């Protein structure tokens, strides 16, 4: 119990010192609050993006295929959307055209299912009588089954 008395003595000394220099104390408390708040915000973002698994059944079994072409593949890029260059200068992308997606789906004997999605930008959206420009995604029907939302749910509209 000696250590408990020592803690109370240290606490009383700290409070007396803080009373003598209120400006320094306020700056210290504000700095601690900002630091804790920033760490909490950063951890929340990292937790949502990196640490939590996707909200789907068997998230570890999801595979994202991509194509690779030597050099610059302008023809493939124009068919499938965007591409990136890897370390050796080859073009790579996880984007595929709809006919390629259909072939994946028809011939995927080792996969349980195949899902497709594409980003939409600058889409005119009318909701509740208000027209707005929106961003979104077009997804195949399997996405709702994978996320457990099933059919019959209305699409979510986020106004930002």
**C-alpha distance from residue 22 to each of 10, 31, 117, 135 (Å):** 18, 14, 57, 50
- The verdict on 20 and 73 lying in the same domain is no
Higher pLDDT, 155 or 86: 86
Percentage of the chain lying above the pLDDT 90 cut: 24
Q: Is residue 157 part of a domain?
A: no
> Within a 10 A sphere around the Cβ of 69, how many other Cβ atoms?
15
**49-60 tens-digit pLDDT:** 888 776 667 777
Q: Is residue 127 part of a domain?
A: yes
- The verdict on 89 and 123 lying in the same domain is yes
What span, in angstroms and rounded, lies between the C-alpha atoms of 77 and 103? 18
**83-96 tens-digit pLDDT:** 667 777 777 777 77
**87-146 tens-digit pLDDT:** 777 777 777 778 888 888 888 888 777 877 777 778 888 888 888 888 877 777 666 666
Quick one: pLDDT at residue 28? 92
Q: What is the domain extent for residue 44? A: 2-51
């Amino acid at each position: 119990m000696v250590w408990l008395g020592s803690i109370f003595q240290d606490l009383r000394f700290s409070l007396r010192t803080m009373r003598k220099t209120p400006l320094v104390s306020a700056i210290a408390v504000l700095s601690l609050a900002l630091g804790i708040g920033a760490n909490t915000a950063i951890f929340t973002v990292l937790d949502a993006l990196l640490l939590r698994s996707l909200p789907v059944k068997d998230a570890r079994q999801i595979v994202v295929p991509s194509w690779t072409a030597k050099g610059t593949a302008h023809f493939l890029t124009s068919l499938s959307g965007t591409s990136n260059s890897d370390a050796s200068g080859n073009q790579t992308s996880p984007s595929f055209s709809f006919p390629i997606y259909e072939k994946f789906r028809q011939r995927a004997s080792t996969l349980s299912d195949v899902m497709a999605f594409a980003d939409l930008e600058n889409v005119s959206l009318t909701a509740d009588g208000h027209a707005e420009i929106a961003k979104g995604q077009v997804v195949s029907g399997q996405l709702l089954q994978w996320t457990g939302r099933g059919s019959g749910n209305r699409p979510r509209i986020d106004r930002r």
